Amino acid sequence: MLRGALCTTYCPEILKLATQSGIFVYRQPSWKRKYSPPQVGDSLFCGDNMAASTGKGGVTSFQKKSRTKTLQIPGTRPSSQGNQLLVSTGVPSLDHIIGGGIVVGTVLLVEEDSFGNYARLLMKYFMAEGIMTRHPLLLSSAELHPKQLLRDLPAPVSDDIGKAALHQEDVSSEKNVEKEATMKIAWRYQNLRTEQPELGAFSKFGHYYDLSKTMSSEMIDTAPSRLFYLPDELPLEEQGMWNSIRNPAYVKLLQSIQDVVREGQFDLTVPQPKDVSRTVLRIGLHSLGSPLWGEQDGGTSHDTSLPHFLHALRAVLRTSLTACLITIPTHLFQDMAFTRRLEKLCDSVIRLESFAGSEKEQNPAYKDYHGLLYIKQLSQANSLLSYMPDCNDFAFKLRRKKFAVEKLHLPPELQDSQQREQDDPVAALKTPSTGCFSTSGKSKLDF
C-alpha cells in the first residue's frame, strides 16, 4: 500500500499485515455495516434470515440482516421490497412478473378473457397451490359449483422436480469438494453452484402442476376449505332486482368471508397466543360481477354494489392474514369507467386476452402463444411504490405441465414472411420508428 493511499479490504490476512506494519487501520463500526461482506467458507445463498427461498435465481453475495421479525409461515416468503409476506399464485412465472407473488392482505384482480377458460385455470392453480402449502381455502362461485372446481385441480409435479433438484445439488457439491483443492486463485467462488437454476423452479414457494392428471381426492378432502355457492346461500327470490342500495349477494359473501376470518383466527387485530401456528387464508372469488351475481346492465348505471363490496373487502383483508384472487369478466361491462373504478379499488390487476377465436390466432408472431397478458396495476400496499417490471409485453402459453408467462419478443424475421409489406404482420407490429427498415425489404437489388 502506498503512503497516503486509501484502500478497503476485507481480507483478514491483509488486515493483520497492515496492523503489524503500523499502517492506520479503520474498521467500520458494526452498527454502520448493514451488509456483511462474504467470509471464506460462507455459503453464498440467502441463509437463515429468509424463509424458504432457496431458488431465487440471482445469487447475491450479501446477506441482509433483517431487523424486524417477519412471521414465518410455510408457503410464504418475505418480499424483496419490504417486510411484507408474499404468497404464490401457483404459477411461478406469473409470480415473477408481479413482483414475487400476491402480497398478504391484498387482492389480485384477474380480468377474464372472453371465454373465461384461462381465468378459471388461474383460479385452479391458486387453489392447488393452497392445498400444497396447507393454506385454508375459501372458494366462491355463482355458476359452477365450487366442489366441481375443487375436484378438478391439477396434480403437482413438484415432487419429481424437488427430488431432481436435491440430486443435482448433491452431485454439484461433490464436484465442488473435489475442486476445492484445485481452485487457488478464484477461491471465493468455490462454493457457488456450477449451473444456475431456472427462475423459481426448485423453490418450495411455487409449484408446477400437471394438467393431464387431477389431484388426488384425499389431498383435496383433507384440506380445510369453505365453499360459497351462490344459489345455495341465497334463495333465488332474493337475487335479481333489489330495492335497497346494495346487492344482497355481495353482502352475504362479505359476511361469510368475515365469519371465516374470525373463526379461523386470521384476524391480526386479535392477539393470539404464541404457540398457535398462524397460516394464511386463500380466498378465491370466481367470476364475480357476472350477470349471475346481479350485474344486469353491464355497469352503465354505475351501480355501486360491487365497488362498495371491494372497498369493504379491502377493510377486512388489510387487518388479516389473507390473500385474495378475484376474477371478473370485465369484457361484459360496456362502460370502461366502471372497470377503471373497480381496478382502483383492487391492489394488483392483470388482464388476460386469449387468441382463441380472434384474428390474432393466425398472426405468425403469436404462433407459440395462447394469449396475451397485460399488467394494469401492481400492489402499492405498505410501500411507497409498486414493483416496476422490466416491460409490459407478456404472452402466456399453456403446456401440459406448465403455464408459462413470457416476455413477448418480436422475432427479427419470420420464415414465411409475406411478399407485400401490407400483409406482413411483423412490420405491422413494429413501431413507426423502425419503418425505414421495412421499406427496403424485398427488392432484388438489396444484399
Q: Does 345 bind other proteins (CB under 8 A)?
A: yes
223/285 with CB nearer other proteins: 285
Query: Contact, 283 vs 120, CB < 8 A?
Result: no
68/422 with CB nearer other proteins: 68
Minimum CB separation of residue 299 from other proteins in Å reads: 12
Taking the C-alpha atoms of residue 364 and residue 447, their distance in angstroms, rounded to an integer, is 25
Q: Does 40 bind other proteins (CB under 8 A)?
A: no
Query: Contact, 257 vs 203, CB < 8 A?
Result: no
Nearest CA to 370 out of 400, 410, 401, 398 is that of 398
Among 337, 356, 410, 429, binds other proteins (CB under 8 A): 337
Minimum CB separation of residue 320 from other proteins in Å reads: 11
105/130 with CB nearer other proteins: 105
Minimum CB separation of residue 283 from other proteins in Å reads: 16
- Hunting for cell 440467502 — which residue is that? 46
Minimum CB separation of residue 395 from other proteins in Å reads: 17
39/300 with CB nearer other proteins: 300
Count of residues touching other proteins (by CB under 8 A): 38
Minimum CB separation of residue 166 from other proteins in Å reads: 36
163/344 with CB nearer other proteins: 344
If you count them, how many residues does the chain have? 447
Nearest CA to 161 out of 132, 120, 131, 122 is that of 132
125/338 with CB nearer other proteins: 338
Applying the rule CB under 8 A, the residues between 76 and 135 that interact with other proteins are 82
Q: What is the DSSP string of 258-313?
A: HHHHHHTT-BSSS---TTSPP--EEEEETTTTSGGGT--STTTT--SHHHHHHHHH
Grid cell for residue 133: 402449502
- CA distance readout (Å), 256 to 139, 226, 227, 231, 307: 11, 9, 10, 14, 18
Q: Does 341 bind other proteins (CB under 8 A)?
A: yes
Q: Does 314 bind other proteins (CB under 8 A)?
A: yes
Applying the rule CB under 8 A, the residues between 369 and 388 that interact with other proteins are 380-386, 388
Which pairs with CB-CB distance under 8 Å and at least 24 residues apart come from 339-346?
339/111, 339/299, 341/302, 341/307, 342/109, 342/289, 342/306, 342/307, 342/310, 343/109, 343/376, 343/377, 344/377, 345/307, 345/310, 345/311, 345/314, 346/107, 346/108, 346/109, 346/310, 346/377
58/357 with CB nearer other proteins: 58
Identify which range of 89-97, 285-293, 302-310, 357-365 contacts other proteins by CB under 8 A: 302-310
Taking the C-alpha atoms of residue 93 and residue 89, their distance in angstroms, rounded to an integer, is 9
DSSP letter assigned to residue 415: T
Applying the rule CB under 8 A, the residues between 226 and 265 that interact with other proteins are 244-246, 251, 254-255, 258
Instruction: Decide: helix, strand or coil at residue 322.
Output: strand
**No. of helices (H) and no. of strands (E), the chain:** 12, 16
Identify which range of 38-46, 88-96, 154-162, 309-317 contacts other proteins by CB under 8 A: 309-317
Among 38, 162, 307, 425, binds other proteins (CB under 8 A): 307
Where in 56-153 does DSSP place strands (E)?
63-64, 76-78, 85-87, 102-103, 107-111, 137-141
Minimum CB separation of residue 214 from other proteins in Å reads: 37
155/251 with CB nearer other proteins: 251
Minimum CB separation of residue 76 from other proteins in Å reads: 17
Q: Does 66 bind other proteins (CB under 8 A)?
A: no
Residues near other proteins (CB under 8 A) are: 82, 244-246, 251, 254-255, 258, 302, 304, 307-309, 311-312, 314-316, 318-319, 336-337, 340-341, 344-345, 380-386, 388-392
